[in-house]
Structure 1
Amino acid sequence: MTITTMGVVGAGQMGAGIAQVAATAGLPVVLCDLNEAALERGRASISSSLSRMVKKEKISQTDADAALALIRVTTDTAGLADVDIVVEAASEDEAIKAKIFASLDAVCKPEAILATNTSSISITRIAAVTQRPGQVIGMHFMNPVPMMQLVEVIRALQTEDTVFRSVQALAETLGKVPVDVKDAPGFVANRILLPMLNEAMFCLHEGLASAEEIDTVMQLGMSHPMGPLALADLIGLDTCLSIMNVLYDSFKDSKYRPCPLLVQMVDAGYLGRKTGRGFFSYE
């Protein structure tokens, strides 16, 4: 199946980024969110990102305008009825995703592929809530989507080979590098990344060094472009906690125990960049 149109559910940081790269590649996109204000923020974020790319001479103004024109926004999932693939990019909550996939299954055309951008949740369980489990797949983009090349392509136990090949080809069309990854908690990227971020949080929690000093160690000592605590703020501390909980609940191994400081900060509403405060201040 050749994919020529895309739907994206969720107009947050990841959903807006996915819509942007699809439109930049010339695909008409339907960006769907239940919240009108979220759609407005998503569209503004895309416009701002495209403007930065124009200033950096990565694309022309004509190309930026054309990409923005290819994105249609809606609060009604019925607007996704005719797209070839829908990529869900909602909150990292299995119950929310299951509800979305059941809804998409009822709305989308029979041959449509249903993909999830989940960073840790079982694709097999998500597929099982639909009447088309063979057409469900994981398509995990990295953040920020317009800049990062990797896409983890994760087959559910039920995913058909033709669907996998179509999604691999789509990732390449979007200018990404697809990597075939097994359906397991955290997949590969977050199975490695999140425990590292969590350990940096334990270093802070135990008073080994300040947040700035911990990030400096990793940047200057390990050549990381961004320190782990700043990266956690960018990802969103609530998302970090959700992924750590998936790993801990799945493996029952104490090495995946979320840092108490992370839990406390999420409880306080300090979620990182999106709230203006996390391990660093962004106000």
Structure 2
Amino acid sequence: MKTEPIAVLGAGVMGVGITTLLAGHGLPVRLVDNDPVKLAQAPGRIRRELRMAQLMGVLPPGREEGEVSLHGDLSAVPGARVVIEAITENADLKTAVLADVSALVPPATALVSNTSSIPIDELADAVRHPADLIGTHFMNPPALIGTTEVIRGVRTGEATLEAVRGLLREVGRRPVVVRDAPGFVTSRLLHPMINDAARVVQEGTASAEDVDALMQGCLGHPTGPLRTADLIGIDNLVDSLWVLLKRTGDEGCRPCDLLLQKVADGHHGRKTGQGFYEYEESTR
């Protein structure tokens, strides 16, 4: 197993989840965020997610956890084997961070943007070596979901693709490589469906609980679309829907009023304690 650290940028839900996956498989991680509050909260959240993964039996037995170090700026990036950007779903913010990172690492360092909807080739213009950039779409929580969508941009190099495939296999994930497009496969299918489910609740046809019960019991959806929205983060879901609407013109991707209201109210799902459902601190 290689011992060079992986740099993860962003200590939000996905950054912490990806860090948990990597550390749980014995890899050293440099977790970077310029928000001191998020950074201070990250170790406790990682411990809770590692404990859940251990209870679920999805981590290698007997393997020592990788060391996680915390950093407040990009000075931690040089020397990383792979850099995974996992900041908020905003193309301008992502391009700015990726541009800064690409100036700090040598050519042939794999740069990974973890995104649910933004086309990789849009982001590639910001980096010095577009062949080094690739996309991933980890599902939440990454340590519990064994398949990862990998997005190969039109300029992504073969060496970058193989480096990321290798890393994912190293941590027990099955990489499925898809071509670049808005929303790729998972978000292009899932996010408009969640939007429709929220619209059904908005229109008073059924409660959130009943929508999820029918989708689970009749159509085999494992958690139900609205519990899934809470897990994704309703704010993140809305950001993704705006990206899809802008880039595809599909009106089915326009966030419905209920989703927009929940974002405005700060009811973003599990991470805030309330979304379509309410959550106790111990379940977040």
TM-score range for the pair, normalised by the shorter chain length: over 0.9
Partner of 1:42: 42
Aligned match for 1:164, one of 144, 161, 174: 161
TM-score (norm 1): 0.93
Partner of 1:268: 265
Partner of 1:214: 211
Counterpart mapping for 1:87-126 below 5 A: 87-126=84-123
How much does 1:223 deviate?
2.3
Amino acid at match of 1:277: Q
CA RMSD of aligned residues (A): 1.8
* Distance change in 2, residues 1:240/1:97 (3 Å): same
2:134 is aligned with 1:143: no
Structure having the higher helix fraction is 1
2:202 is aligned with 1:205: yes
Find the residue that maps to 1:87 and give its secondary structure: strand
* Distance change in 2, residues 1:84/1:60 (3 Å): closer
CA–CA distance in structure 2, aligned partners of residues 213 and 275 of structure 1: 23
* Distance change in 2, residues 1:206/1:177 (3 Å): same
CA–CA distance in structure 2, aligned partners of residues 225 and 237 of structure 1: 18
CA–CA distance in structure 2, aligned partners of residues 75 and 13 of structure 1: 17
CA–CA distance in structure 2, aligned partners of residues 169 and 61 of structure 1: 21
CA–CA distance in structure 2, aligned partners of residues 133 and 3 of structure 1: 26
* CA deviation string 1:155-184 (max 9, x = no partner): 122111111111111111110010111110
> Residues 53 and 59 of structure 1 are in contact (CA less than 8 Å); yes or no, is this contact kept in structure 2?
yes
TM-score (norm 2): 0.92
Structure 1: give runs of 5+ residues left out of the alignment.
Answer: none
* Distance change in 2, residues 1:218/1:57 (3 Å): closer
2:81 is aligned with 1:84: yes
Counterpart mapping for 1:26-41 below 5 A: 26-41=26-41
> Residues 244 and 257 of structure 1 are in contact (CA less than 8 Å); yes or no, is this contact kept in structure 2?
yes
* Distance change in 2, residues 1:3/1:250 (3 Å): farther
> Residues 3 and 170 of structure 1 are in contact (CA less than 8 Å); yes or no, is this contact kept in structure 2?
no
Amino acid at match of 2:11: A
| Percent identity over paired residues | 38
CA–CA distance in structure 2, aligned partners of residues 222 and 70 of structure 1: 42
* CA deviation string 1:46-104 (max 9, x = no partner): 111222344455558964xx31x521111121111100110011101111111111111
* Distance change in 2, residues 1:61/1:42 (3 Å): farther
CA–CA distance in structure 1, aligned partners of residues 31 and 106 of structure 2: 17
Amino acid at match of 1:24: G
Partner of 2:225: 228
CA–CA distance in structure 2, aligned partners of residues 105 and 60 of structure 1: 33
Partner of 2:242: 245
Structure 2: give runs of 5+ residues left out of the alignment.
Answer: none
* Distance change in 2, residues 1:215/1:159 (3 Å): same
Alignment length, in residue pairs? 279
Find the residue that maps to 1:271 and give its secondary structure: coil
How much does 1:109 deviate?
3.0
Find the residue that maps to 1:107 and give its secondary structure: coil
CA–CA distance in structure 2, aligned partners of residues 241 and 131 of structure 1: 30
* Distance change in 2, residues 1:172/1:58 (3 Å): closer
Find the residue that maps to 2:136 and give its secondary structure: strand
Partner of 1:278: 275
* CA deviation string 1:109-153 (max 9, x = no partner): 333111011110011111111111110100211111000011111
2:180 is aligned with 1:180: no
CA–CA distance in structure 2, aligned partners of residues 48 and 236 of structure 1: 18
